[in-house]
Amino acid sequence: MDPTTILLFALAAVTSLFMAWVIGAGSSGATPFAPAVGANAISTMRAAFVVGILGFAGAVTQGASVSEAVGRGLVHGVSLPPSGVIVALLIGAGLMATGISTGYPIATAFTVTGAVIGIGLAIGGEPAWAKYVEIGGMWLLTPFVGGGIAYGIASVLPRPDVPEHVSVPLLAGLVGVVVANLEFVFLAPVGGTVAAAGSSVVPIGSAIAAAVISLGVGAFVGSVVRWDTARDEIGGLRRFLLVLGGLVAFSAGASQVGLAVGPLLPLLDGLSVVSPVVVLLGGGLGILVGSWTSAPRMIKAVSQEYASLGPRRSIATLVPSFLIAQTAVLLGVPVSFNEIVVSAIVGSGLAVGGSSGVSPRKLGVTVLAWIASFVVAFGLGYGSMHLLGLH
């Protein structure tokens, strides 16, 4: 390998780390615990510390799916050259850094996906239409599904005819069932999930055993939350809220690390000495450092500038955020955690306070920024390849 190629590979790796840092400082680091901070369940600095650790864990144990989609699934027939990888990540990181400096949550998935597609098409790649439909459907449905679920939960929790010692444990039980069926790399030899691993030692059909174990985990989690809220209602709600924030932070790392390291994967095909696991570790470390050093600003922006959140409304925000995030990880679809959480915040706000529960101006500017980020990233990616003579 000639020195120029080695230098380009090194620059691509450094750019990927920078992108991971920006993700940790922005979408992955800010949005998971923003509702909990808004509900005064945890301080801003402590939230940044915890979200960094959990984001790192999610990146390493669940990050391969989205990384593969970003690296190899967005354009057919070509692989991004090292210079294209550098440009794609610089575009994504630059737009994200702009969002961080202005306090508006730019959608990371939109910037990186737009840049990679623009660059791939410019160098002669074929559009991956099936994947675009899957991604576009996820992006378009997220505000309606996430906001709708959040609206429904926020509408039910304060109702006197639906006691919280019933409704909140039911939500916790649902979350427990989902957690039992999350796929982890380290569980791959025994089925990939806690439920599948447990079913291998139960002397009944594997599908039935997995269902029984899932329901058992859900019942256990629901019972614990019911007991906790019965003895200390407000404290129990806040503790459940913190667990939800942790699960969303974990899911954020699993999804967002792919936006930082995914473009590197095609470059590793000829380098057997570098394992994809090492790349995920590096991306997770970048997210952790970004969360620890720069996430507090965005946490404050999302938690305080969009709406005034309480424990119940925050729970209504984080439950659909977790479900949508894990659906995206399962499908290998890059998604924006800013879009997921902000949509859920808006949905819960409409249920609690109507249009007064959200900031229309802030929301409008954010949506425009999301749309513009994809268009600008695509244009910059496509145009940069023509400027570099790689089209």
pLDDT tens column, 112-122: 999 999 999 99
Q: In the chain, how many domains are there?
A: 1
Q: What value does the mean pLDDT take over residues 205-230?
A: 87
Specify if 233 maps to a domain.
Answer: no
Specify if 214 maps to a domain.
Answer: no
The pTM (predicted TM-score) of the whole model is 0.86
Residue 321 lies in domain: 3-153+249-387
Distance CA 102, CA 145 (A): 28
Dihedrals phi, psi of 193, to nearest 5 degrees: -130, 165
Q: Which two tokens stand for residue 350?
A: 């409409």
Distance CA 66, CA 340 (A): 16
Residue 291 and residue 28 in contact, taking contact as beta carbons nearer than 8 Å: yes
Strands (E), 46-192: 75-76, 126-127
Which residues, including other chains, have CB under 8 Å from residue 225's CB and lie 6 or more apart?
168, 169, 172, 236, 240
Q: What value does the mean pLDDT take over residues 137-161?
A: 88
Least confident piece of the model among 24-38, 46-60, 235-249, 360-374: 24-38
Distance CA 391, CA 75 (A): 14
Amino acid letter, residue 13 = A
Residue 32 has pLDDT above 80, yes or no: no
Residue 98 has pLDDT above 80, yes or no: no
Amino acid letter, residue 348 = S
Distance CA 296, CA 135 (A): 29
Residue 49 has pLDDT above 60, yes or no: yes
Least confident piece of the model among 170-174, 285-289, 356-360: 356-360
Dihedrals phi, psi of 389, to nearest 5 degrees: 75, 30
Residue 136 has pLDDT above 60, yes or no: yes
Dihedrals phi, psi of 233, to nearest 5 degrees: -60, -55
User: What does the pLDDT read at residue 307?
Assistant: 45
Which residues, including other chains, have CB under 8 Å from residue 80's CB and lie 6 or more apart?
88, 116, 119, 120, 123, 263, 266, 267
Specify if 227 maps to a domain.
Answer: no
CA–CA–CA angle 322, 323, 329 (5° rounding): 90
Amino acid letter, residue 273 = V
Mean of the per-residue pLDDT values of the chain: 82
Specify if 356 maps to a domain.
Answer: yes
Specify if 15 maps to a domain.
Answer: yes
Q: What value does the mean pLDDT take over residues 158-180?
A: 86
Specify if 235 maps to a domain.
Answer: no
Can you count the helices (H) and strands (E) in the chain?
16, 2
Specify if 301 maps to a domain.
Answer: yes
Residue 29 has pLDDT above 80, yes or no: no
Specify if 237 maps to a domain.
Answer: no
Q: Percent of the chain having pLDDT more than 90?
A: 25
Burial class of 283 by CB neighbour count within 10 A (0 to 12, 13 to 18, 19+): buried
Residue 262 and residue 70 in contact, taking contact as beta carbons nearer than 8 Å: yes
Distances (CA, A) of 208 to 211, 273, 344: 5, 42, 34
Dihedrals phi, psi of 76, to nearest 5 degrees: -95, 150
Q: Percent of the chain having pLDDT more than 70?
A: 84
Residue 92 has pLDDT above 60, yes or no: yes
242-277: per-residue pLDDT in tens? 899 889 889 988 888 888 888 888 777 666 656 777
Count of positions (residues) in the chain = 391
CA 232 to chain centre: 31
What's the pLDDT band for 353 if we cut at 50, 70, 90? low
Q: Which two tokens stand for residue 387?
A: 């400027």
